[in-house]
Amino acid sequence: MDSLQSHLGAESGLQLLSRLENRPSLIDLDNVIFESGLLPNEIVEINGDVSSGKTLLVTQFLAKCLLPKSYCGIDIGGLNAGAVIIDTDHHFQVLKLVTIMEAYIARSGCSSNSLVDANTVESIIKDALDNLTILHCYDGVQLLITFHGLKNILSCNRNISLLVLDSVSAFYWQNTLNNNGIHKMDLYLKKILISLQKHIHEFKVSVIYTKPLYFQSKVHNDSNVIGKYGKISRQIKLQKVLNSVNLFYAHICDNSNRKVLSYEIGNDGFHWHVAQEHK
């Protein structure tokens, strides 16, 4: 790859520029989950059971990420950063994103401001949506080629600092059929992440990916180091409380500590319960 860049005169100039330039910071993405903030080049895994809110959590991150910090002097509290979502599971819904954004704006207190009417909210949201790039992938080959294309997207949009892959396991089964290569789920996951990292590591964007709970090899080794480009720095495991209607637990672990939070799912996203349990 390095030799390629040295030959691609024009492109590496662009890349140099993006390397020098700071992308918007994601430090404030979510103060509950990421106490110390989400750093560039970090990889975050969200795993969980069916309907535990994986896609919803991602959507919520995107909403905060895309919304502007302020609008005409009114504080909104977004991060004003761009994002890319590679949608392989097709559970992500733009309409849901808009609903969450509306709720977010309403919570930020703008709605009480007489200057902000429904039309303004809509235009804020539309502007924010312009920061989002959606890539729909329908098979494994397309996904790999799309990874190759990310370089171009990221160097053209210097605003993008978050990349979401929902979900990482979508094409695993086809892959087992297509080539007799990788059958172990952990290895497949590693392979996908490495090939993703290969193309984007120099752009210093953060990666969040989702995977279903079942998606791990039977003999699971806990080493989440993925090659030379970095490692999974955080894992968020979502779980539904048995026999409950709307009560879930999130196990969040990063390098230094673990914590367990409980939450409910509402129309506008996650509602964290204040009571926290430290381990």
Partner 1 sequence: MFRPLCNLPLPRLLSSKLRELGFMYCDDVCIDRNGKPILDPIAEKVLRQWSDEPCTYWKELLATPATKNAFSHLQDECDLGRIETFCRSLDEYMDGGVPLQRITEFSGAPGSGKTQMCLQLCVDVQIPRAFCGLEGQAVFVDTCSGFTVSRLSEIAEACVNHCSMLARDGLNQNMLQAMKHFSKISILENVFHVLCLTHVDLMASIIYLKKFLSKHKQVRLIVIDSITFPLQTIDNSLQRVSLLYDLMENLRTIASEFDVAVVVTNNLTTKVETGKESSLIPALGESFGHSVNYRFLLGRMSDSNFVCVSGKNLNKSSVTVPFQITRSGIREVQNN
Partner 2 sequence: MARLCKEMNSLFSEFVLKNLRLCGFHTVVDFLEENPENLVRITKLPYKDIVLLRHNIIANFSAFQSSGKTAYNEIVTNSAMVSTGIERLDALLGGGILTGNIYEVCGLSGSCKTQLCLTIAMNIALSLKQKVYYIDAKLDFSSRRIFSMLEEKQIAETDVTETLKRIEVVRIKDLYQLFSFLHTLRENLAQRELESSFVRVIILDSLPAVFFSFLNDTNNEGIALKSQLANTMKHIALECHVAFLLVNLASRHFDEIENLPDPDLTVSSVQTEVVKPALGKQWLHIPSTRLLLKKVESQVHVSIIKSINIPLCSSCILNIKDEGLV
- Those residues whose C-beta lies under 8 Å from the C-beta of residue 83, and which sit 6 or more positions away, are 62, 65, 66, 131, 132, 133, 160, 161, 162, 163, 164
| Residue closer to partner 1 (CB basis): 138 or 214 | 138
| Residues in contact with partner 2 by the rule CB under 8 A | 3-4, 7-8, 50-51, 55-56, 66, 86, 89-91, 93-98, 126, 128-139, 141-146, 148-149, 152-153, 170-174, 176-177, 212, 214, 245-246, 267
Q: Which does 179 bind (CB under 5 to 8 A by kind): partner 2, partner 1, none?
A: partner 1
Residues in the interface with partner 1 (CB under 8 A) total 7
- Taking CB under 8 A as the binding criterion, the range among 83-91, 113-121, 174-182, 205-213 that sits at the site for partner 1 is 174-182
Residues with Cβ within 8 Å of 198's Cβ and at least 6 positions away in sequence, in order, are 1, 147, 229
CB of 87 vs partner 1, minimal distance in Å = 14
Following CA atoms 231, 164, 250, 235 in sequence, which dihedral angle do they give, to the nearest 10 degrees?
0
Q: Of the candidates 77, 15, 70, 48, which has an alpha carbon nearest to the alpha carbon of residue 209?
A: 48
Residues 6+ apart with CB under 8 A from 128: 66, 67, 68, 78, 101
Comparison of 177 and 219: residue with beta carbon closer to partner 1: 177
Identify the residue whose tokens are 């040295």: 6
Q: Decide whether 177 or 242 has the Cβ nearer to partner 1.
A: 177
Residue 178 lies near partner 1 (rule: CB under 8 A): yes
Shortest distance, position 132 Cβ to partner 1, whole Å: 23
User: Among residue numbers 134 through 163, which ones bind partner 1 (CB under 8 A)?
Assistant: 138-139, 141
Which tokens sit at 205? 């964007």
